[in-house]
Amino acid sequence: MIHESFQMQTIPTRILATSQSYIEFRNGVDRLVANGLTTGLEHSKAMLAYTRQNVQRMNKWDKILTLSEESQLRIQGIAHPVILLTIVEAWCGDVAQVLPVMNRIAEASPLVDLQIILRDGHPELMDQFLTNGARAIPKVIILDMETNEVIGTWGPRPSEAQAMIMDMKQIVETMPEVERAGFRQKSSEAMHAWYARDKGQRVQIEFLNTLIPLVRSEAVVG
């Protein structure tokens, strides 16, 4: 996928200090949901319902998601340590579908460290990594682990899913206002059905297509 250029070349230590591991993020979301809350700035019933559904999705993927043999072989070729600083919110459906894949990739290599940061708590960071002018998440910022230098980005979703979103946005603009909510709901259901059929394979392929050229021994230049 093509993304807008980023200006922040090195992520400050103060920002990295606020990041969480995957387990810390999952446990934190569970605690919030138990108290009728979610991450971010809005804690409406709708946002809480989205978050509960996303917890179920992530629980499912944590149990059944596997990396393909090709992905495992490609991950073995990683020669330089990196941080996958991933911008998320718990209510975001794409986060629930993508983040478990990032976790599997990090688990497969001692040279990959997944760290998670919340979008709404870091608008100055998010605004350096927009997609088509929007604060779309999840956004994976690939950092050289030794320098915290940004060497690449990926997200918010695989190209086929992104095309679905763009088509939906074009269609909804032509619809009467009264029909838009129902169409968005059906579009969301279609998107998550696509993720379910794909089983994380396109995320693996497209993310590793971005990552692997950056982390071969000759590719990372300080």
Average pLDDT estimate for 184-189: 86
| Cα dihedral 135, 144, 205, 59 sign | negative
The answer to whether 78 and 212 have CB atoms below 8 angstroms apart is yes
Confidence of residue 49 (pLDDT cuts 50, 70, 90): very high
pLDDT at 13 over 90: yes
- Break the chain into its structural domains and give their ranges: 13-215
CA distance 102 to 80: 17
pLDDT for 130 beyond 90? yes
CA-closest candidate to residue 98, choices 145, 142, 65, 135: 65
pLDDT for residue 4 is more than 80: no
Q: Measured between alpha carbons, how far is 116 from 118 in angstroms, rounded to an integer?
A: 7
Amino acid at 30: D
Mean pLDDT of the chain: 92
- The domain made up of 13-215 has a fold known as Glutaredoxin (3.40.30)
pLDDT band at 178 (very low <50, low <70, confident <90, very high): confident
